[in-house]
Structures are given as C-alpha cells and as structure tokens.
Structure 1
Amino acid sequence: MTLLTPAELRILDHAAAAPMLAQVQDWAAVNSGSRNLDGLARMAAMLAADFARLPGTVRLVEPTPVENVAPDGRVETIPHGRHLHVAVRADAPIRLLLTGHMDTVFPVDHAFQQQRWLEPGILNGPGVADMKGGIAVMLAALMAIETSDAVSRLGYDIVINSDEEVGSPSSAALLREVARGKVAALTYEPALPDGTLAGARAGSGNFSIIVTGRSAHAGRNPDEGRNALLAAADLALRLKAGSGAGFSCNPAKIDGGGPNNVVPDHAVLRVNFRPRTPEDEIAARTLIETMMTAIAHEHDVSLHLHGGFGRPPKPMDGKAERLFGLVRQCGADLGLAIGWRDTGGVCDGNNIAACGVPVVDTMGVRGGSIHSEAEYLLTDSLIERAQLSALTLWRIAQGGFQPGQDMKEGMTA
C-alpha cells in the first residue's frame, strides 16, 4: 500500500464534497430515452450548464445522420439528440478522454419514470446507475483535479453522447475524432455491485437483411410466388447454426408477411453478432455473405444487407493491462479491492479501444439491475468512485501511466 501524499488527500477531499447525489436525482428526473429528443435536449442543456464550471470550451455537437431500415424495407434517416463535447487545455503534454452517455433505455412512455429509496443508501430510478451516477462521478473527479497543480500538465476532452444505448451510431465519428492523440481514456459505465470492472469485451454488429421475393395467391398459384418470409426464416436458422465459440448470433426479429392467402414478397431479418476478436468479426462477415448467396440461389429471392459492426471487439492488450494496473493500485491505496472480468456486453469503450487508446470503461458507480425497472444505485459508491477517478487522474498527470511502459516505472509518490 502506497502512503497518500498531502496533495492527493486534498484532491480526495474535494471529490468527496461534490453534490453528486443531488445531481443524480435532478438528472434522473428527466426522461432521456434514446429516442426522446425533447428529453435529450433538456438533459444536454443541464449537462452543458454543469460542465461549464470546468475551464475550456463547451459545445453541443449535431448528430451524424443515421440510416435505419423500416419494417417495410424503406431506408430512412432517424433523428438523434445532440452530443456534449468539452475540451480543456488542448495543448497540455498529457491528454485524456473521458466519456459518458446521457441517454437511457427507458422511452418517454415507459412506466419507469420515478425514483424511490429501496432502503437507506439504495436509490431506485431510471438511469441512476447507467449512467447519470457515472456522469456525476466524472464531474466531481474533474472539479477536484482542477483545484490542484496537475492542471499545468493535464488536458482532456469529454464526450457525453445521446445515443450510446442504441449503439452510438450518430456519435461514433465524434468519438474517433476526440480519441486522436490521447494517452488513455476513462468511461463511466457502472461497475458491478461489488465493484468489479469490465475487462475485455466482445464486439457487436447489428444487421437488417431485406429479402424481396414475389407475391402470388397461396391457393391458386403458390408455386409462382417466392416466399420472402420463408427465405428470411431459413437465413436466420443458417446464421445461428453457423455461429460458434468465436462469435454468437442472435436472430432477433423478422418483419414482413401479410394475409394468409398471399405468398409474402417482403421480409426484413434483424440479427446481432457478438465476435470476440477481430478475426471472429471477419468470420462472421464471411458467414453472412456465404449464407445470403445460398439463400438467394435456393429461394430465388434478392437480398440487401444493411448495417455493420458498430462496436469492434475490445481485447485486454498490454496498454489496457497497464491502465487497469494503475486503477487497481489507486483502489488499493484507497482501501478498495479492484478486480475485473471479461464480458459480452459492449459500450463506447469498444470504439475507443479500436482507436488504439487504452480505456477502463466501468469507472462509474456501483449499482445493478440496469436496463430494468429494478435499476439501483448504491449511493455510497458516489464518493468512493469519484475519489478513485480523481486519484487515477492525478497520478496520470504525475507521469504514473505511460502506454509503453510498466506502471511501476512511471509512478511517483
């Protein structure tokens, strides 16, 4: 265990004094479901005002246009909310990226809108853990760092996007832009209730496959028809059967069909793949192409593929292990046991790691039952995790992390 210095203790005190719980409750009172543009606009305005307390520039970035396949096969552009970008000391010698998301999975008409105390210290509410609690932790840590002399060496960009829960399609380009030149990144997804962090992550690809056949009377001349629904179902089975240890496949939905007496000439298959490695992603792409070709030939239908792998796999490489090592040491010096394990879940950490930037992407609060009406925040983790982030940021500013060297070689007391 390393003895905390007076400078570190001062930063920890500042982090602990931040009004995080009040912020979480204010933010969680706003429905900011990924498709609720009005709620996202309110949320973005609140965050812009709160993060304006930091030095630097605050801006709301327009979303990149995103195409979506409608149930009838039409490709349409769907709207997204604006994203918050804060840039502080762009010319500093050490530059970091910190990210979060303002959107939740709960739409404006969802029954889960209110907060309540399950018991002292356990707050139930939409987005309290995923991830409005994490955003409060991020801001508290940064405000604490701004009181120290670390500011002479440390610069950072913050991105809080509005579409993470739907795969970050309209913010992926912004994330790539701000990741450029960064030494490391911290993302504020919630940790597990016991504080365990996510290590390596699988990737994720979402696809819509439009199948076009030929309609006919189901009784008079069915053989003249080409059943698009049947072809889509056959394709779903073949894609599932072709997946294995390297990547999973989840055929999620088929749109299409009509009256019972009509051979359906249209269907859209929705399917998700989770590759573990870049090589698995290539194998999944090959499977899709091979099976689409076979289905087109055997069913005499045409197929169009829409979508892609929006979340690349995130391995635990040497740089990531060194950054995790620093976080773990900071935790140990605070009396926290920090562990991690691999997961099939995905987040913006996948996209950041694909830019060559090491990232710890579960620096947020401890909580659980996310994406459900039972979502909860363990409120004592607000101070705990703000101090963990503040100490990590401080030590990075002191040269405690170099992507190309072991942590102990760069640490200063």
Structure 2
Amino acid sequence: MYKLSLLLIAGLLSNSALAQLSSVEKGLINQVDHNNPEAVTLLKDIVNINSGTMNFSGVKKVADRLIPEFEALGFNAHFEDGSAFNRAGHLIAEYKSGKGPQILMIGHLDTVFEADSPFQHFEMLDNNMAKGPGIADMKGGDVIILQALKALHQANELQGLNIRVVMTGDEELNGRPLAKSKQALVDAAKWADIALGFENGDGNPRTANVSRRGSVDWTLTISGHASHSSQIFKDKVGAGAIYEASRILNQFYQQLRSEPLLTFNPGRIMGGTTVHHNKMNNSGDTFGKNNVVAQSAIVTGDIRAASLEQLERVKDKMRKIVADNLPQTQSVIEIGEGYPPMGATDGNQQLLSIYSNVSQDLGQGQVEAVNPLNAGAADVSFTAQYVSMALDGLGMSGTAGHTVNETGNMVSLPNQTKRAALLLYRLKTMAK
C-alpha cells in the first residue's frame, strides 16, 4: 500500500511545491558543510586501504573502518561473510524507526586495483581534484551515503525513515553463484520501497541513472566434420565449424542490431581442428591447418539489454539463428547469468524528478537521465524489479575510473551529500 501511495504523491508533486528550502533543510546543508573536513579524512582513509576485489582482508578492513561510523548513528551494522560465493563479503547496516519509507542505499567496498597494483594512495592534485584507487568508483559514494545519514542524525531527522545500507564486496568482480553473491541486495530490495545507488554514473553531476542495461555472457560452441580442405562443401563434409561461426555472427549482426539500446559483442573467438578454452582466465589455444576443414569453434561474448523483455526476445532470436545450422555442423549457445536490466519505469522517472528538484533548490541545476547506452551494469540492477522507485549515479563525480589516473572531484563530495540528505528528508516528509 505504501509503495502505491508514494508513487501517487510523487506523480502529483509540482516544482513550485518545493521551491523554497525549509529551515530543516537549511540546517542539513550547514551540517554537511561543517562535517566535510571529517568526510575528506574518511575518504582518504578508505582510499588508502587496498580493497581490490580479491584482496579479502582489504575489503574487510574498509568495512571495519565504516561499521563504527554507522553504529555511531544508531545503525545495527555488521560484515556478512562471503565465503559461500568466494569473496570477502558485504557490509550491511540497518536503521528502523517504524512507520515511514523503507529505503535501500547501495555502495560497494571493492575496487579494480588489487594488492599488486602500482596505484595505491590518495593524493590531492589541487584544491578541487584528488587522485586515488576507487576514489570515484566508488569510495566517494560510500562516504556520501554515510555523511548524508550523519547530517540527518545530527538534525534528529532519521526518525521516520527506515534505512538499509548494503555495500557489496564484489561489485567489480562478482562472486559465484550470483544467487548467493547478490542475496543481500535482493533481500534488501524485497524489503524496500526505494533503491538509491551511489555509483558515480557517467561522472557528470547533472545526470543520474533511471535505467541501466543488463550484462549477460554467452558462449557459442560449434562442431563440424574434419576432413581434407579439398572436400569442403561436399555432402559428407559440409561447411566446417568456422564457416558456421561466421554465419551465426553475421546473422546476429544483421537481425539484432536494429534493436534499440541493445548491444551484443563477440569478444573472443577460437577455431580449428582442436580448441581448448580456459574460462577462468579468458584464454585458450587452438590447433588447425589450412588444408583441414575446421572441426571446432568457440565464441564468447555478452548481451546488454535495456529491459528484461528485450533480453528475453533477443535470447530467443539468437537461439533460432544458432539452430539453423549449415550442412554437417552443430551449434549450441549457452547464455549465462549476469546483471539484469534496470528499466526506465515511471517510478524511476518520478524519483529523478524529486531529486532534480532538490538539486535546483540547492542551486546546483537540473538533473537529467543518463542515456542507457552510456551506463554500464551496476548492483542497483539486482534490486530494480522489486522496488517501486530506483535511481543510481548519486555518487562522487570523477574521471578515468578503472585506470591508474582515476580522479575524484572534491567539490562534488559535499554537493552530492547535500542532495542525498535532502532527498531522504523529502521522501520522509512526502510519506506523512
């Protein structure tokens, strides 16, 4: 019942209704500014802890640094062990106050920079920019979550909100099976009305994500009839595995590329008389001769779709293309698990409108939706089908993520925190 009423309230909300900041909101802004030096110190501390996904102890050290901060705000916080999915685990913090919106806030503790990376330390480049592993993706976002909640706590405005924070330890390299790796997110989403993701989106504070395309892997395995090349195309020999792979990929290209917001990419192909594929390290080896018809081929790739309906439609098309074999060949496509799409629902658009109003009232300008073609998959996608509203890209602005030149815009740290604090406050007041 609450989810439906919140959607109606959001739909009826006009810009003029939120044109002026209340005294409480002005107090929240002042509190964020007052706390910002502590926020910078916290960001520096956690950036300087290496938490590459496979550095389990490092991921847990980041959680250990953050858990007391949540506890000081009245949250019950703990680290959930990830041995069941071969990762460090997740930080989960909960605040329950009875009636009011149930909001999931999503971050992640891990980075792409493992313990042997040359990129390990926080460094101020000038008054506005800092450099460091994971500073924007997404330790800055983690600090924004905490600092927004801290401002609300100091203003005695957490009451009337029910918050669950999930900071995963495997966003950059998912544990398997995904059903266990993402269980904490899914459970939280089933509980929540609203999901807020604090990834840095496209790095532009004037945008946020109302949709994200999913990412699903596929593997195409093809077998043909080995023979001397002089016999290719004869009835008993047929076309061979490599021609069959070429046919399938060309048909994928011809039949699927008109799908809006869809991309599908063959990232690796191997073919010959024998093929050995090492899935664990994305490599393999082949043997073949120019005068022998190829007996085997393997192609691997991904699909990025904008909705579950589009994904299912595309999977059906791919299976039909694969099944239409050339003579004396057989092909099988296996479509694996991955990130589901986050569709651009009416609820997500309404939540963006509320967030954009907050930004304009703060003097930070309008916030528009990111083009899904410019947005990769993220943890929020696992929650989107369960909540009435979802929004992502609320984190710290930055550039060159996943590289040793990753930077964060330090001005965006308090600015994004103010947006988050006021968004939470307004979601609470709308629900009354």
| Contact in 2 for aligned 1:210/1:266 (Cα 8 Å) | no
Q: Which residue of 1 aligns with 2:112?
A: 105
Please name the residue that 1:301 is paired with. 330
Shifted more, 223-232 versus 374-383: the winner is 223-232
- 1:225/1:59 CA distance change after superposition, 3 Å: farther
Deviation at 1:301, TM superposition (A): 3.3
What are the equivalent positions in structure 2 for 1:3-402 lying under 5 Å apart? 3-18=20-35, 19-63=38-82, 79-89=86-96, 91-166=98-173, 169=178, 170-209=180-219, 211=221, 213=223, 231-232=244-245, 234-244=247-257, 245-246=259-260, 247-254=262-269, 255=277, 256-261=284-289, 267-295=297-325, 298=327, 300-303=329-332, 305-315=334-344, 317-341=345-369, 342-344=371-373, 345=375, 346-399=377-430
Count the aligned residue pairs: 387
Deviation at 1:43, TM superposition (A): 2.5
Partner of 2:408, secondary structure, is strand
Please say which of residues 330-339 and 342-351 is displaced more in the overlay: 342-351
SS at match of 1:390: helix
User: Contact between 1:228 and 1:267, CA under 8 Å: does it hold in 2?
Assistant: yes
Deviates more, 1:264-273 or 1:243-252: 264-273
- Measured at CA, do residues 298 and 6 of structure 1 come closer, stay the same or move farther in structure 2, by a change above 3 Å? same
Determine the C-alpha separation between the residues in 1 that align with 2:405 and 2:327.
47
Q: Provide closer, same or farther for how the CA distance between residues 264 and 389 of structure 1 changes in structure 2, counting only shifts above 3 A.
A: same
> What amino acid does structure 1 have at the position aligned with 2:251?
R
**Alignment partner, residue 73 of structure 1:** none
- The verdict on how the C-alpha distance between 1:233 and 1:25 changes in structure 2, with shifts beyond 3 A counting, is farther
Stretch of structure 1 that moved more, 122-131 or 13-22:
13-22
CA contact (8 A) 2:210 2:348 kept: no
Q: Which residue of 2 aligns with 1:74?
A: none
* Alignment TM-score, normalising by the size of structure 2: 0.79
Question: Deviations for 1:367-391, whole angstroms, at most 9, x for unmatched residues?
Answer: 2222222221110111111111111
CA distance in 2, matches of 1:176, 1:398: 26
Deviations 1:102-123 (A, max 9, x none): 1222333333333333332111
- Is residue 31–residue 107 contact of structure 1 (8 Å, CA) maintained in 2? yes
Structure 2 counterpart of 1:2: 19
Structure 2 counterpart SS, 1:282:
helix
Q: d(CA) in 2 for partners of 1:312 and 1:40?
A: 27
SS at match of 1:126: coil
Letter in 2 for 1:105: V
Q: Is contact 1:97-1:156 (8 Å) kept?
A: yes
Query: In the aligned structure 2, how far is the partner of 1:40 from the partner of 1:265?
Result: 45
Larger deviation: 382-391 or 339-348? 339-348
Report which stretch shifted further, 98-107 or 153-162. Answer: 98-107
Q: Deviations over 1:7-34 (max 9, x none)?
A: 2222222222331111222111222223
Contact 2:212/2:378 (CA < 8 Å) preserved in 1?
no
Q: Hey, what's the Cα distance between the residues in 2 that align with 1:237 and 1:373?
A: 37
Deviations 1:193-227 (A, max 9, x none): 54122344342232231526379687899987996
Q: Name the SS of the counterpart of 1:112 in structure 2.
A: coil
SS of alignment partner, residue 416 of structure 2: helix
Moved more, 377-386 or 199-208: 199-208
Cα 1:287–1:34 shift into 2, 3 Å: farther
- The residue type equivalent to 1:385 in the other structure is Q
User: 1:177, CA displacement in angstroms?
Assistant: 0.9
Over the aligned positions, Cα root-mean-square deviation in angstroms equals 3.0
Q: Which amino acid aligns with 2:267?
A: A
Counterpart of 2:7 in structure 1 is: none
TM-score between both structures, scaled by the size of structure 1: 0.82
Post-superposition shift, 1:286? 1.1
Amino acid corresponding to residue 158 of structure 2 in structure 1: V
The CA deviation string for residues 305-335 of structure 1, in whole angstroms up to 9 with x for no partner, is 14135222421x3222221122112112211
Matched AA of 2:265: N
Q: Distance in 2 between matches of 1:242 and 1:90?
A: 53
- 1:304 Cα deviation from its structure 2 partner: 5.1
Q: Report the Cα offset of residue 190 of structure 1.
A: 1.3
Distance 1:144 1:291 in 2: 56
Paired position in structure 1 for 2:272: none
Q: Which residue of 2 aligns with 1:405?
A: none
Letter in structure 2 aligned against 1:207: D
Checking the alignment, whether the CA contact within 8 Å between 2:213 and 2:372 is kept in structure 1 is no
The one-letter code matched in structure 2 to 1:174 is A
> 1:54, CA displacement in angstroms?
2.8
Q: Give the residue type in structure 1 aligned to 2:384.
A: A
Q: Match of 1:351, as an amino acid?
A: F
Q: Percent identity?
A: 21
Q: Distance in 2 between matches of 1:257 and 1:214?
A: 18
1:327 alignment partner, SS class: helix
Give ranges in structure 1 of 5+ residues lacking alignment.
67-78, 403-409
In the aligned structure 2, how far is the partner of 1:235 from the partner of 1:80?
36
- Relative to 1, partners in 2 of residues 1:221 and 1:100: Cα closer, same or farther, differing over 3 Å? same
Q: Structure 1 residues 36 and 148 mapped into 2: Cα distance closer, same or farther (>3 Å)?
A: same
